[in-house]
């Protein structure tokens, strides 16, 4: 594959081939879209466990006396609520309320935080962060030195526990443990977070140890049905769980409120933050458009960018993501549409190859574990 040389690679690129990966260009990165089959991998995560290389994600350290104050100004959620070893989902906004990125903030220590950002946004985000740096704090882009491996699914804890003395059952949701030893692989940050709608962990470690951990996990997880999974399954899993994807649900002209992640926007927090006034104004005026779940009841699959029209044929918005749901065996999607059409049960139409296909607004998440 000639293309791979021009694309960025994660520290795990070399092992993809051994596991049968089909590698594609994903926003400038050579990443596995699948190993065996998207449907099999999706099923493995829902019923057993799946292993994902997500090392393309970016990591930025914020260190210093003013780190907390800085992050609270930069991000929409309230970082002061975090205790050490707790993570928080949040967003960075432009002054007009549009979204710079969505991210996770890890509180490593009182004056030390790790921000995990989207791969396609690393440069843009880091520049944005630097522009707003203030007070006694330093920013460090450690994206290239850090690998991230996600192990997700009901068997994830059991598999991971085989490699460590650290009692993983004690790690709550959005909590993490630092400096874990995973069978000789040292200094791993083990976080109970994920992007699949299943229980599981995200593991941050030095890039040089990524391959060893990947191979080891697949070895000890084999009996528990652990499978290597690609970005294809990651996308269907996150969509069923209604987790937003930057570039689709979130964009510079879509606010986190419109995208339905208002739970990560704390307009009432004490400190000022970038985008606060625009977001407050959106809240007060009422949202003009909202992200909803749709199910296509006619024949067809909604895809990113397809038009959505009302029963009366009026253009009301677009599909941001869509797929044939492997878990539900239904054609589902997320659509950003005019607020007056967003009530559950509202009939709509999606334009699929010049035909208007019947759809309906449904409750999300489409899939809930257990």
Partner 1 sequence: MTKATATLLYSKEHEWVLQLDGNRVRVGISDFAQKQLGDIVFVETPELDDEVTANESMGTIESVKAVSDLYSPVSGTVVLVNEELGDAPETINEHPYEAGWLVEVEMSNPDELESLLNEEAYQAYINEGEE
Closest CA to 217 of 52, 42, 35: 52
Position among 21, 30, 38, 250 found at the interface with partner 1 (CB under 8 A): 38
Angle at 83 between CA 127 and CA 195, to 5 degrees: 60
Selected from 9, 37, 86, 166, the binder of partner 1 by CB under 8 A is: 37
Q: Which is nearer to partner 1, 76 or 325 (CB)?
A: 325
Q: In this chain, which stretch among 37-45, 147-155, 253-261, 357-365 interacts with partner 1, using CB under 8 A?
A: 37-45
* Residues near partner 1 (CB under 8 A), total: 18
Q: Which of 10, 34, 155, 320 is in the footprint of partner 1 by CB under 8 A?
A: 34
Out of 119, 137, 301, 332, point to the residue binding partner 1 (CB under 8 A): 301
311 in a known ligand binding site: no
Angular region, 328: left φ>0, alpha ψ -120 to 50, beta rest: alpha
- Which of 38/182 has CB closer to partner 1? 38
Considering only residues 109 to 168 of the shown chain, the ones binding partner 1 according to CB under 8 A are none
Residue 324 interacting with partner 1 (CB under 8 A): yes
Residue 99 or 331 with smaller CB distance to partner 1: 331
Q: Give me the least distance between CB of 26 and partner 1, in Å please.
A: 11
Point out which span in 33-41, 199-207, 221-229, 335-343 binds partner 1 (CB under 8 A): 33-41
Interface with partner 1, residue 299, by CB under 8 A: yes
Rounded Cα gap, residues 86 and 66, in angstroms:
18
* 17 scored as a contact of partner 1 (CB under 8 A): no
Mark residues 221-240: x for contact with partner 1 by CB under 8 A, - for none. Answer: -----------x--xx----
Instruction: Select the span of 141-149, 169-177, 276-284, 296-304 touching partner 1 (CB under 8 A).
Output: 296-304
Which residue among 5, 345, 353, 370 contacts partner 1 (CB under 8 A)? 353
Q: Are 47 and 26 in contact (CB under 8 A)?
A: no
Rule CB under 8 A: is residue 39 a binding residue for partner 1? yes
Do 238 and 196 contact (CB within 8 A), yes or no? yes
Answer for which of 326, 327, 337, 367 binds partner 1 (CB under 8 A) is: 326
The label of the residue with tokens 């769980």 reads: 241
Q: Does residue 303 interact with partner 1 by CB under 8 A?
A: yes
Q: Which is nearer to partner 1, 41 or 53 (CB)?
A: 41
CB of 135 to partner 1, least distance (A): 45
Report if residue 300 touches partner 1, rule: CB under 8 A. Answer: yes
Considering the complex, state which of residue 114 and residue 233 has its C-beta at the smaller distance from partner 1.
233
Closest distance of CB 324 from partner 1, Å: 4
Residues annotated as binding site for substrate?
202
Chain positions contacting partner 1, by CB under 8 A: 22, 33-34, 37-39, 232, 235-236, 299-301, 303, 323-324, 326, 331, 353
């Amino acid at each position: 594959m000639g293309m791979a040389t021009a694309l960025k690679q994660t520290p795990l690129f070399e092992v993809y081939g051994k596991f049968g990966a089909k590698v594609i260009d994903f926003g400038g990165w050579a990443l596995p879209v699948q190993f065996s089959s998207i449907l099999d991998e999706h099923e493995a995560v829902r019923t057993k466990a799946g292993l994902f290389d997500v090392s393309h994600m970016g990591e930025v350290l914020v260190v210093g006396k003013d780190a907390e104050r800085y992050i609270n100004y930069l991000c929409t959620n309230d970082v002061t609520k975090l205790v050490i070893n707790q993570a928080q989902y949040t967003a960075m906004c432009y002054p007009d309320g549009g979204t710079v990125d969505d991210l996770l903030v890890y509180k490593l220590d009182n004056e030390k935080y790790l921000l995990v950002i989207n791969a396609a946004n690393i440069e843009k985000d880091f520049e944005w962060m630097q522009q707003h740096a203030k007070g006694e704090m330093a920013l460090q882009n450690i994206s290239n030195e850090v690998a991230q491996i996600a192990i997700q699914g009901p068997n994830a804890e059991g598999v991971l526990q085989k490699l460590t003395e650290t009692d993983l059952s004690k790690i709550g949701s959005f909590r993490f443990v630092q400096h874990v030893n995973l069978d000789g692989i040292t200094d791993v940050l083990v976080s109970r977070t994920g992007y699949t709608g299943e229980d599981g962990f995200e593991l941050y470690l030095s890039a040089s140890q990524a391959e060893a951990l990947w191979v080891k996990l697949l070895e000890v997880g084999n009996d528990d049905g652990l499978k290597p999974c690609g970005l294809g399954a990651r996308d269907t899993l996150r969509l069923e769980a209604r987790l937003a994807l930057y570039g689709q649900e979130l964009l510079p002209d879509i606010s986190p409120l419109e995208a339905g992640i208002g739970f990560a926007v704390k307009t009432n927090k004490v400190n000022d933050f970038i985008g606060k006034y625009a977001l407050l104004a959106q809240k007060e005026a009422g949202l003009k458009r909202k992200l909803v779940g749709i199910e296509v009841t006619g024949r067809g699959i909604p895809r990113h960018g397809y038009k959505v029209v009302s029963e009366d044929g009026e253009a009301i918005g677009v599909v941001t993501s869509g797929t044939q749901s492997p878990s539900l065996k239904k054609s589902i999607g997320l659509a950003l549409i005019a607020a007056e059409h967003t009530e559950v049960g509202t009939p709509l139409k999606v334009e699929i190859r010049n035909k208007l296909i019947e759809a309906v607004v449904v409750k999300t998440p489409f899939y809930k574990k257990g």
